[in-house]
Structure 1
Amino acid sequence: MLIFRDAKDTITANEMIQAMTLCLHGLVFGNYDEEDFRFLYRYALRYIRGQTQIEKWLRKALVYLVAVNNESAEDVMKEVRYWIQFLGAPYFGPSTFSEACSELGIDIQSELDDEKFRLVDAVARHPQYLKEAVQEMSFLDSMNGLKEWGPDALQLQLLKIKKKEVYEKAQKKISSDMSVKESVKAMQQVFEQEKFRTNEQTVLPARLQELSSPPPGDAVDPVIFELIPQKLRMDLLPSVAYSTKTKKIEVLFLGGPRIGRSGIIIKTDTGGILLDFGMSVANHRIPEWVPELEMIDTVLVSHSHLDHVGGLPVLYEEFNGKWCSVGPTGGVTKILLDDALKVGTPFPPRKFDKLDLVSRFDETNIAKVIKNHVKLEYGTSNEVGPGIVVTPIDACHIPGSAAYLIDIEGVKILYTGDFNIDKSVLFPGANLPTDCDYIIFDGTYWAREDFDRSKVGEQLSRAIADHGPVIIPSFAVGRSQEILLMLDKLGITKNRNIMVTGMAERVTKMVGVTGSWESMKKNRIHLEVDDVLVAGGGMMAGGLARHHFNEQRDNPKAAVILCGYLAPRTPGWNLLHGYEPHECTVEYARLSAHSSATNLETYINSCKGKKIMVHTPIYSQSKGIMIPKFKERIVIPT
């Protein structure tokens, strides 16, 4: 319990293993859940320097855990792989589980003898020999061998090797007198012959501009030229000049089906765009890597939360294009990325594992992200990829959030990002179109219980009137600004000392929200009875909210008002559920930046096109609504 409360000063590897073993058995018997187990493992990553002992225990623990419900070696290995990803563990080769499986009487040797496992083990141990290992294999066959257990960095390296080979062969088929259309067709034929594809149904985008000697490109229509934002023109013009009318559109769901690491590719025959590229704060995983990620033209970012932008520094290790957003999103993104790096994202050993793409989350790539930002305007259409025209619409989720109406040669796709139809003190509520061919929408509160903002106002007024000082931990982006405006509207700023501090203060100033509150002076060490402190860190994992709670925890006149999502086993969650000893009052004022269930359902039912729900905890399909799986593709004919 001391570990769950983050109240243990020091801990050894043996003590950590004892705690995780207890949780493991509790997980099997239903006393603990997956989030408890993940919390303990993340705690071990943060506080145990040498991970060798932890990793050895973890391999045995995972085999034990999955063997309870799985008998076949194939199912055991598949489930182990899931747990590695869920926990955010470092890369383990399949053969490293052989000893643990043998101890439990599970023979996985037949699996390890499979060609794909032999390939993975060989190149993971000796990545410098990857080119030789796949020399006689097509890209498709070698990808099939690596995609389940091969590290993403090796798959990326494989793409570079095979792309160079196939582009050299394509170059020989293309002459300077061929038109763009003829050249694209010739290139696609080479791709077909060489199996330069990620599945049997579709080849990768044919990007003539990446040939060593591309044919003369088509002239760019002046009307199209004017649609392209100034900062995008030089990068995008070659793509536009070498594009052809696409025969089909593919949508690839790399991370979007669940809450945590959004990422969706919309692919055409000659390129495509990426919608968000986030990182899960729970396990520091980014969206699933696919070769199409290396062949996009532009990134559209819906808003600045880490689960939508956290993967950008990883992407920009290789990507040199632009990413687009609206309003203050560019500036807020820098604040959040810098803060994530400051608190240690990602944790070792993944931070130093070059086979793990997330190790590329570093200061250099964050700087590259910020350098390549393009600001768009609500309601203004822009061409951001060949034949891809987008119009941002205010999503009313947080300041700068945007939904994107995407028009690809007459096919209209609405990507809502995280959006909020409900009216609040911060926003009037999103007004999104209903007549699109496809809508990819945020289903965070689909079929869940509604909440009432008016009751939150009453709760804030009562709690603050009866207590002092009051601490309100809140998310720095969006929630802090909403709380401050609510306090102003309720008149509380007239008779109490309302202060905002830390990242919440920086973001509030950046997004231009003003009112009758003040910044907390840097020399203020203690809170006074009339103080109401709005501080960043909605889950109380650290910062001044956590500091002042520790100061006031035994003060029965003080209060803590939690007002946002609380991930399991975070300090705020522990406090709310009685695991954190305290004498002060603790209240939960439920607010959300997502659409309430009733309003969400009403809007979606009014939409005429095909409905695809992402960013949702729901697994089962709802009537008339598709919920995609990870890496699932849907094909849209044009």
Structure 2
Amino acid sequence: MKVKVLGAGREVGRSGFLVNGDGANYLLDYGVNLGRNPQPPLHVMPKEVDGIVVTHAHLDHSGYVPMMYVSGGCDVYATPPTFDLSRLLIEDMLRLEKDAHPFGLPEVNRMYSHAVEIGYKQKIRHGNTSFELRDSGHVVGGSSVVVESENKKIFYTADINLNGSRMLNEADLDVGKVDLLITESTYSQTTQMPRKESEEKLIEFANEILDQKGTLFIPSFSVERSQEIACVLKNAKFKHKIVMDGMALKVNEVILRYPDYLRDYKVFADAVHNTVWIKNHKERVRELDEPCVVISPAGMLVGGNAVFYLQELAFDKKNGIALVSYQGEGTPGRRLLDTGKVTIQGREKKAEAQVRQFEFSGHSDRNALFEVVKRIEGNPKVLTIHGDGQSCIKFAEEIHEKFGLDAHAPEIGEIVTV
């Protein structure tokens, strides 16, 4: 088999890998890096692809799949929740960035007319090449991919969380002997705070803010992070009012339809039903009349209802802002974290609210990624991808030193043969 790296080489985002086996070409993910100039993976001729596999809903993995339907029409495979969630995110991307992308809703609709819903461990075959999905523990319905052809096996982790979360099961690594491991490296150089400790510190901060009659704003990614925070608060028997807003509410509705993809459906359902769902701006204003916790996108404070909540809450010292999502370079969330300032209506102002960051990553950290490599059977070649340049390179060197495996950080356009 051959693998061509189309994106997410020595960078985070715009994932894409073209796997050529006996009788089939599979495209594993086709995402986008968002921003003023959206960056897709390398171009692929749709007629060269026999099947597209979407590992999970996040736009850096799913966002440019509709591009394959400008002139193409092959089947696209994913779990049912991945299809529902990715459609929400892709359509929202097109709504917010109307003319930034070379496709629109007609291509999105065409993509979904070719959607084939599959479950974990369901083998799909084209020619003499097959693939199947395994639970990645990253987001609801998220997957890693096993591709087999010519007595060779590739395991692509995509985004993986070895231990899962309060909502999600741990990752499934029971895949047998592997010849090529393609592993993410996002936090390969970072050791994260244990999740239990992060949860305790967040609850402590929330109680501190509410006890002084303030409101705590928790900007969160709409897919999974918002819901996980609601589960954390519910588990702690948090006694104050919790408000949920924005796209997180649509995500709640999707996830409620898929109990089989959750660690404990009852815990999740109780947590989200225990919150106040904001339906309009009038309710948004009314609910802030008394102290509460507000969980709302966007996680990096880029647009969404975050602008309203910042304007209302950031300039009173009795309030708090808890950052629980990754804060990318150049985002308002990162600026708030680094400088303590927010920009409202074009003017930069000093935030008076207490700002703290808590680690709730959906990715495996350094120790967990080493454990992933350790638990993979066989003597595989290893490609370290989906991390900043130095993280990928350093992680490959460490894998070679620690396990004696042939590991390297591939560049975009590189072709690897197994």
User: What TM-score do the two structures reach when normalised by structure 2?
Assistant: 0.85
Looking at structure 1, the residues matched to 134 and 128 of structure 2 have their Cα atoms a distance apart, in angstroms, of: 20
Which of 362, 367, 380 does residue 109 from structure 2 map onto? Answer: 367
Which of 520, 526, 542 does residue 278 from structure 2 map onto? Answer: 520
Say whether 1:470 aligns with 2:216: yes
Which of 598, 603, 606 does residue 372 from structure 2 map onto? Answer: 603
One-letter amino acid matched to 1:395: S
- CA 1:294–1:285: 2 relative to 1, 3 Å: farther
Looking at structure 2, the residues matched to 464 and 394 of structure 1 have their Cα atoms a distance apart, in angstroms, of: 32
Which of 181, 184, 187 does residue 442 from structure 1 map onto? Answer: 184
Q: Deviation digits for residues 108-151 of structure 1, max 9, x if unmatched?
A: xxxxxxxxxxxxxxxxxxxxxxxxxxxxxxxxxxxxxxxxxxxx
Number of the residue aligned with 2:127: 386
Which of 411, 414, 417 does residue 629 from structure 1 map onto? Answer: 411
What is the CA distance between 1:365 and its match in structure 2?
A: 0.8
What is the CA distance between 1:541 and its match in structure 2?
A: 1.1
Which of 304, 326, 332 does residue 565 from structure 1 map onto? Answer: 326
Number of the residue aligned with 1:322: 75
Number of the residue aligned with 2:89: 336
8 Å contact 1:310–1:337 — kept in the other structure?
yes
8 Å contact 2:226–2:295 — kept in the other structure?
yes
Aligned pairs (5 A) from 1:393-408:
393-408=134-149
What is the CA distance between 1:613 and its match in structure 2?
A: 1.5
Q: Deviation digits for residues 368-404 of structure 1, max 9, x if unmatched?
A: 1122111101122222x22222221111100010111
Looking at structure 2, the residues matched to 423 and 314 of structure 1 have their Cα atoms a distance apart, in angstroms, of: 31
Query: Per residue, is there more helix in 1 or in 2?
Result: 1
Structure 1 residue runs of 5 or longer lacking an equivalent are 1-248, 348-357
User: What TM-score do the two structures reach when normalised by structure 1?
Assistant: 0.57
Number of the residue aligned with 2:345: none
Question: Is the radius of gyration larger for structure 1 or structure 2?
Answer: 1
Number of the residue aligned with 1:554: 315
Looking at structure 2, the residues matched to 584 and 601 of structure 1 have their Cα atoms a distance apart, in angstroms, of: 38
Number of the residue aligned with 1:250: 2
Looking at structure 1, the residues matched to 409 and 310 of structure 2 have their Cα atoms a distance apart, in angstroms, of: 41
One-letter amino acid matched to 1:254: L
Looking at structure 1, the residues matched to 392 and 291 of structure 2 have their Cα atoms a distance apart, in angstroms, of: 47
Number of the residue aligned with 1:304: 57
Q: Deviation digits for residues 242-283 of structure 1, max 9, x if unmatched?
A: xxxxxxx21100113121100000013543110000011133
Number of the residue aligned with 1:511: 255
8 Å contact 1:266–1:273 — kept in the other structure?
yes
Number of the residue aligned with 1:72: none
Looking at structure 2, the residues matched to 290 and 543 of structure 1 have their Cα atoms a distance apart, in angstroms, of: 33
Query: Per residue, is there more strand in 1 or in 2?
Result: 2
Say whether 1:284 aligns with 2:38: yes
8 Å contact 2:137–2:165 — kept in the other structure?
no
Aligned pairs (5 A) from 1:185-200:
none
Which of 531, 536, 545 does residue 297 from structure 2 map onto? Answer: 536
Which of 604, 609, 615 does residue 386 from structure 2 map onto? Answer: 615
One-letter amino acid matched to 2:2: E
8 Å contact 1:264–1:275 — kept in the other structure?
yes
Question: Per the alignment, in what secondary structure is the counterpart of residue 524 of structure 1?
Answer: helix
Number of the residue aligned with 1:479: 225
Question: Per the alignment, in what secondary structure is the counterpart of residue 253 of structure 1?
Answer: strand
What is the CA distance between 1:565 and its match in structure 2?
A: 0.8
Looking at structure 2, the residues matched to 474 and 402 of structure 1 have their Cα atoms a distance apart, in angstroms, of: 22
Greater mean alpha carbon deviation, residues 441-450 or residues 251-260 = 441-450
Number of the residue aligned with 1:429: 170
8 Å contact 1:446–1:597 — kept in the other structure?
yes
Task: Tell me the matched-pair count.
Answer: 373
- CA 1:491–1:371: 2 relative to 1, 3 Å: same
Question: Per the alignment, in what secondary structure is the counterpart of residue 283 of structure 2?
Answer: coil
Looking at structure 2, the residues matched to 517 and 475 of structure 1 have their Cα atoms a distance apart, in angstroms, of: 17
- CA 1:615–1:345: 2 relative to 1, 3 Å: farther
One-letter amino acid matched to 1:317: V
Question: Per the alignment, in what secondary structure is the counterpart of residue 366 of structure 1?
Answer: helix
8 Å contact 2:22–2:127 — kept in the other structure?
no
8 Å contact 2:22–2:150 — kept in the other structure?
no
Greater mean alpha carbon deviation, residues 268-277 or residues 539-548 = 268-277
Identity value in percent: 26
Number of the residue aligned with 1:104: none
8 Å contact 1:422–1:596 — kept in the other structure?
no
Question: Per the alignment, in what secondary structure is the counterpart of residue 336 of structure 1?
Answer: helix
Number of the residue aligned with 1:461: 203
Which of 476, 479, 488 does residue 234 from structure 2 map onto? Answer: 488
Q: CA RMSD in A?
A: 1.7
What is the CA distance between 1:319 and its match in structure 2?
A: 1.5
Question: Per the alignment, in what secondary structure is the counterpart of residue 368 of structure 1?
Answer: helix
One-letter amino acid matched to 1:318: S
What is the CA distance between 1:606 and its match in structure 2?
A: 3.3
One-letter amino acid matched to 1:298: G
